[in-house]
Structure 1
Amino acid sequence: MHLYLHIPFCKQACHYCDFHFSTNTSRSQEIVNAICKEIELQKDFLGTKNLETIYFGGGTPSLLSISQIEQIFSKIAQHFTIQPRAEITFECNPDDITIQRLTEWRNLGINRLSIGVQSFDENHLKFLNRAHSTSHSMQCISDAQKAGFDNLSIDLIYAIPSVSNEIWKLDLKKAFSFDVNHISSYCLTIEEKTVFGHRLKEKVMKPIDDDFASNQFDILLEEMSKNSFEQYEISNFAKNTAYAVHNTSYWQGDQYLGLGPSAHSFDGNKRFWNVSNNTKYLKAIAVNTVPNEFETLSQKDKANEYLMTGLRTKWGVDLGKLNKILPLSSKDFRETLMRFRKEELIREEKGILRLTKAGKLKADYVASEFFF
């Protein structure tokens, strides 16, 4: 079983982010109390009590105090069994990391950090409206390793508007210099309800240039390969098979429980999502109600989801497995497969469909064209 906890607070709003969060942290203790209450309400969600992974996401979990994190762990331990080798990931921002906090996190059982670096360039950090500096990033990664965190992931963003690719190449070079075992790298996208979205609408910002983004993606793949990183998912790279176990469980269709405002859950047949509003979440939990909605997945939905997630990963889409979900008798499916093979966007080996390098640039499009 996999457990996700959404901590809906941030110091400030990054200009690109459309996740649910609040910059008003005055209700953080109320939210922590409510999440602990939701743990009680949802303890039987999946039947099993054995936790293989725990993931603190957000928002910014590193804004929580040690006592608040300890409170959540204590409640989890009351109702679940954390497996001895469970992966316990904690998202954090460089400016929240100190040697003392790192030691305290380790003592609580956190064994994997996901650090939101995004860029090592000061101007890019200001453009994104990040709260940390380049020096914060450099220092915190070093401190985390000294504190015993050998399972580290750092986040980077590419396609940030620039006159050349040099800043992106330097970002990658600095990331590799720390010898971390995992890097997540995402293309900058402009979402409608963000600062960048408003700027685009008001025409004070240009759309992300597709050719520029494509070029930077090519650089990403080339440099990752040179530095012994395996691309096991479109945006995720690992050394020595240090895959993110929790995130991989999503891509492979495992069941999971999500807690906190806006958190999602999956029981194998239904997808649930909590209300993305802190006040509404607190009011519902106060009267012992989980404030969520759900949808029941049809066989078509399950097949389409498998196509969407499977094609993004190194494991690809097993046509035999897909056929068990939904019989592959569709003429359109076969014609689409032939078209993409001809266009060299996809390849088939022993009944497994995988994207080519060119196909990875169009992953969502390719998957959607196969949809039933």
Structure 2
Amino acid sequence: MAGAYIHIPFCKSLCGYCDFYSITDNSLKEALVQALMREASLRSSYLEGEPVETIYLGGGTPSLLEPAETEALLEAVRKNFSMDTNPEITLEVNPDDVHEGYISALKKAGVNRISLGLQSWNDKLLKYMGRRHDAAQSARALDTVLREGIENVSADLIYGLPGMTVADLKSDLEKTFAYPVKHLSAYHLTIEEGTRFGKLRKEGKLKETDEETSALMYGIIGSFCHEHGLIHYEISNYALEGYISRHNSSYWKQVPYIGLGPSAHSYDRRSRQWNVADVKKYIRAIEKGEIPSEWEELDRLTGFNEYVMTSLRTMWGIDLQHVEEMYDKELHDYLVNLSDRYIRYGLMKREKNTLILTDQGKMISDNIIAEMLSDL
């Protein structure tokens, strides 16, 4: 199986925290759609016939596309790649882009999963982040999505924002799960260089949430989701049974995927490839029949480290037998020996041949993963 990611970089405005490639000049939207369709044709052999099980349109703001444009992109994937009989097809949607008939048109085009960028139900925090919508628009969007027939809805929330309280977080969770959402992605704010928040931090105008509060918030999210029957299947992701994101899981399980569009990444188990993060350069190259990308071959150690980095974030953990078969006995023994102290500290557990982080370990997962990467 395989996945397909389509990057739509256009935004009406830029959020203060976002470091994904995005632009506010939407004048090239039609040209980009044509280029994306052409790239799918030019790279039709990339997945080597493996059936595409998931398609994900991310951004940027994919909900700025007209439903007919979304349908054309999905048809280009179907035309150029082998398809699974029941693919998961996700579109990221901003609440303020949802209007009557929009979701119905997406469903007709083949979209069967919506990732709704709520981020918060607090209008003050939404404004601080630079979001275009308010809480009332989030409520209307959820009502419309569910009424127009897409029941597989994932909600995005951000926590650890400057000035955000535990009460704010609990309110966000309660208001989100007042609706029958099937999946939650809850991300702690990370401040990246080159963003508005990064600039504010450099100027000393942004106070980051302390570690103790961050850990408390993370625990609250986990407990809340557990009480509502959601499975904590990845550090930042929770889902009801049967609604785990198949697309995101494919990244964590090293499933091949093709990325279409400016800045999109691709992976074929042997190498990683990424397109230029410039929509004008991307369109010009595709029009000439060229793929504007760079790539790197994945050697044994790079592949191993990527496996550790992605697998340890999930409830499936590190399969030691897979490590020995895919890499070698030396790396298998390296993990067994290194994991021993984490197991003693209660940060990790070993179940048969699998290493999995405990709830306590998940709270410092970045540190544990960094220490487990190998330079053998």
- TM-score bucket (shorter structure): over 0.9
Stretch moving more, 200-209 or 127-136? 200-209
SS in 2 for 1:85: strand
Cα deviation, 1:325-368, whole Å, max 9, x if unaligned, reads: 33243675444212211221111110110001111011122122
Check conservation: 2:162, 2:208, Cα contact below 8 A. Answer: no
Structure 2 counterparts to residues 1-372 of structure 1, below 5 A: 1-48=2-49, 50-162=51-163, 164-329=165-330, 333-372=335-374
| Residue 75 (structure 1) shift | 2.3
Aligned counterparts of 1:236 and 1:333: Cα–Cα separation in 2: 25
Check conservation: 2:162, 2:206, Cα contact below 8 A. Answer: no
Stretch moving more, 326-335 or 59-68? 326-335
| Residue 171 (structure 1) shift | 0.3
Aligned counterparts of 1:260 and 1:352: Cα–Cα separation in 2: 36
Aligned counterparts of 1:62 and 1:334: Cα–Cα separation in 2: 46
Check conservation: 2:184, 2:237, Cα contact below 8 A. Answer: yes
Amino acid at match of 2:154: S
Cα deviation, 1:66-120, whole Å, max 9, x if unaligned, reads: 2322322332233234333111101110000112111110110110000000001
Aligned counterparts of 1:338 and 1:51: Cα–Cα separation in 2: 39
Cα deviation, 1:227-250, whole Å, max 9, x if unaligned, reads: 111101111100123111111111
Check conservation: 1:340, 1:346, Cα contact below 8 A. Answer: yes
| Residue 150 (structure 1) shift | 1.0
Cα deviation, 1:176-196, whole Å, max 9, x if unaligned, reads: 110211111100111111000
SS in 2 for 1:10: coil
SS in 1 for 2:101: helix
Aligned counterparts of 1:115 and 1:163: Cα–Cα separation in 2: 21
Cα deviation, 1:261-290, whole Å, max 9, x if unaligned, reads: 000000111000001111111121121110
Check conservation: 1:9, 1:23, Cα contact below 8 A. Answer: yes
Cα deviation, 1:117-161, whole Å, max 9, x if unaligned, reads: 000111110111100010010111111111111111010011112
Amino acid at match of 2:372: F
SS in 2 for 1:26: coil
Stretch moving more, 74-83 or 269-278? 74-83
Check conservation: 1:302, 1:325, Cα contact below 8 A. Answer: no
| Residue 164 (structure 1) shift | 3.0
Aligned counterparts of 2:142 and 2:175: Cα–Cα separation in 1: 11
Amino acid at match of 2:158: I
| Residue 370 (structure 1) shift | 1.4
Aligned counterparts of 1:53 and 1:122: Cα–Cα separation in 2: 34
Check conservation: 1:319, 1:351, Cα contact below 8 A. Answer: yes
Question: Normalising by the residue count of structure 1, what TM-score does the alignment of the two structures yield?
Answer: 0.97
Question: Normalising by the residue count of structure 2, what TM-score does the alignment of the two structures yield?
Answer: 0.96
Check conservation: 2:169, 2:217, Cα contact below 8 A. Answer: yes
Stretch moving more, 64-73 or 344-353? 64-73
Check conservation: 2:101, 2:148, Cα contact below 8 A. Answer: no
Aligned counterparts of 2:47 and 2:91: Cα–Cα separation in 1: 23
Aligned counterparts of 2:50 and 2:288: Cα–Cα separation in 1: 24
Q: Cα 1:339–1:95, aligned 2, differ >3 Å: closer, same or farther? A: same
Aligned length: 372
Check conservation: 1:49, 1:79, Cα contact below 8 A. Answer: no
| Identity within the alignment, % | 37
Unaligned runs of 5+ in 2: none
Unaligned runs of 5+ in 1: none
Check conservation: 1:61, 1:92, Cα contact below 8 A. Answer: yes
Q: Cα 1:336–1:102, aligned 2, differ >3 Å: closer, same or farther? A: same
RMSD between aligned residues:
1.4
SS in 1 for 2:28: helix
Check conservation: 2:91, 2:114, Cα contact below 8 A. Answer: yes
Aligned counterparts of 1:49 and 1:343: Cα–Cα separation in 2: 42
